[in-house]
Amino acid sequence: LSIRELQNAPVPIRPPKIKPPSKSQLLMEKLKASIEADKLKPKKDVKSKLHNLLIVSTPVRRMQSQTIVDENEG
């Protein structure tokens, strides 16, 4: 082979080596997957412990306000 043939020869193309994903890439993929899973998961109905007390106490207040109005009318 002459020098000209070596210069004009096409550059050999090497296939890129497959590298295993780094730890940070694996963590990011897991994080993204868990976020997507949370988005698709049905949401819970979150109620406070006072929720039942507030539901019961609101009609009582309305009844008291009506009795005060009735006393003023009479």
Question: Structural domain tally of the chain?
Answer: 1
Residue 62 lies in a domain: yes
Q: In degrees rounded to 5, what are phi and psi of residue 37?
A: -65, -40
Residue 58 lies in a domain: yes
Task: Give residue-wise pLDDT tens across range 9-39.
Answer: 888 888 888 888 899 999 999 999 999 998 8
Residue 29 lies in a domain: no
Residue 12 lies in a domain: no
Residue 71 lies in a domain: yes
d(C-alpha 6, C-alpha 54), whole Å: 88
Residue 56 lies in a domain: yes
Q: Provide the whole-model pTM.
A: 0.37
Residue 36 lies in a domain: no
DSSP 25: H
Question: Smallest Cα–Cα separation from 55: which of 47, 43, 45, 67?
Answer: 47
Instruction: Kindly tell me if the per-residue pLDDT of 74 is higher than 50.
Output: no
